[in-house]
């Protein structure tokens, strides 16, 4: 399960329906062109928190059908409705997803016992492994080393997607739990995380920059830090430009430049205006 995983985008039509043809093209582009090791399906980048349970299942179906066993597949099933999270975990497991992942429950300020119960309830319902999805900036849930340790006590919790700029905590987790998988979640910090010996990374920008990200990861693993730093600089020029223009709509527009039918984002996300579309095309020309 080690390696680089694209946090997969989903193609939607103007009304917000899943554009299955476009989604298949995104899957193929990531596997055949970006050559990533795996796909992280229905995460933040997949606009998971903006779609219905039925759409989540539809996306799990289409991605598995298109990818087959070409790459590893992780299904993000986390939801505030725990019954839904359980149902999705079972659904993805039955489809053959290699692991599930669940975002820490958010919005209500759950205490740690409640968070632990959420993970154990999901895991008790499936014969599959789970990767914790920790993204404190969006969930407001900050867990400490001891709390990660308590979640890791469940052997089916095989790792964490660590989307935070806290390298002190990252190093402590790495040191304390050498057998758990740690995936770096911020693409702009991939080199720094790789130096701390993470096992892989999961990122949105890998949809268009996966090959370069993989090089950064491999160079760092080989101790070629100077070359990795150069590539991280080029990558961060790209990421800064994407963030400036609007993260998900810009990645979709760049995919379209590459001939991939990436479609629209779900409302309330805005579509790019004409200037934004032009800017996205320039980003692709200048930075890819």
Binding residues for pyruvate: 45, 202
Least separation in angstroms between CB 113 and ligand NGF: 25
Candidate residues 11, 19, 44, 128; the one interacting with ligand NGF per rule CB under 6 A: 44
Least separation in angstroms between CB 203 and ligand NGF: 4
- Residue 26 Ramachandran class (φ > 0 left, ψ -120 to 50 alpha, else beta): alpha
Active site annotation includes 5:
no
Candidate residues 38, 43, 246, 263; the one interacting with ligand NGF per rule CB under 6 A: 43
In the bound state with ligand NGF, the residue whose beta carbon lies nearer, of 115 and 208, is 208
Which string of b and e fits 247-283 if b means at least 16 CB within 10 Å?
bbbbbbbbbbbeebbbbbbbeeeeebeeebbebbeeb
In the bound state with ligand NGF, the residue whose beta carbon lies nearer, of 22 and 46, is 46
At 259, which helix (H) or strand (E)? none
If we measure between CA atoms, which residue out of 11, 14, 44 comes closest to residue 28? 11
Q: Site mask, ligand NGF, residues 134-163, x = CB under 6 A?
A: ----x------------------------x
CB atoms under 10 Å from CB of 80, counted, come to 14
CB atoms under 10 Å from CB of 233, counted, come to 10
- Which residues make beta-bridge pairs with 183? 161, 200
Contact between 246 and ligand NGF by CB under 6 A: the answer reads: no
Active site annotation includes 264:
no
Residues that bind ligand NGF (CB under 6 A): 7, 40, 43-45, 138, 163, 185-188, 202-205, 239, 247
Active site residues: 133, 161
């Amino acid at each position: 399960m080690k390696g680089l995983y694209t946090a997969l985008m989903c193609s939607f039509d103007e009304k917000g329906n899943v554009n299955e043809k476009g989604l298949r093209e995104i899957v193929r582009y990531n596997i055949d062109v970006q050559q990533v090791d795996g796909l992280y399906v229905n995460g933040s980048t997949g606009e998971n928190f903006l779609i219905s349970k039925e759409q989540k299942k539809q996306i799990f179906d289409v991605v598995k059908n298109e990818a087959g066993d070409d790459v590893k597949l992780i299904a993000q099933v986390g939801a505030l409705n725990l019954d839904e999270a359980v149902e999705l975990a079972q659904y993805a497991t039955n489809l053959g997803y290699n692991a599930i992942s669940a975002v820490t429950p958010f919005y209500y300020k759950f205490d740690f016992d409640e968070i632990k119960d959420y993970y154990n309830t999901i895991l008790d319902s499936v014969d599959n492994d789970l990767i914790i999805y920790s993204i404190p900036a969006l969930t407001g849930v900050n867990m400490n080393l001891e709390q990660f340790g308590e979640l890791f006590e469940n052997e089916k919790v095989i790792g964490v997607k660590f989307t935070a700029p806290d390298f002190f905590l990252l190093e402590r987790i790495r040191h304390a739990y050498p057998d758990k998988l740690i995936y770096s979640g911020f693409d702009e910090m991939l080199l720094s995380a790789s130096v701390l010996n993470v096992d892989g990374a999961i990122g949105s920008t890998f949809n268009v920059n996966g090959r370069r990200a993989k090089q950064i990861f491999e160079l760092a693993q080989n101790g070629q830090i100077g070359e990795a730093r150069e590539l991280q600089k080029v990558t961060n020029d790209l990421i800064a430009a994407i963030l400036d223009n609007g993260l998900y709509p810009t990645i979709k527009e760049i995919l379209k430049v590459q001939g991939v039918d990436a479609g629209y984002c779900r409302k309330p996300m805005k579509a790019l205006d004409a200037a934004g579309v032009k800017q996205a095309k320039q980003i692709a020309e200048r930075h890819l």
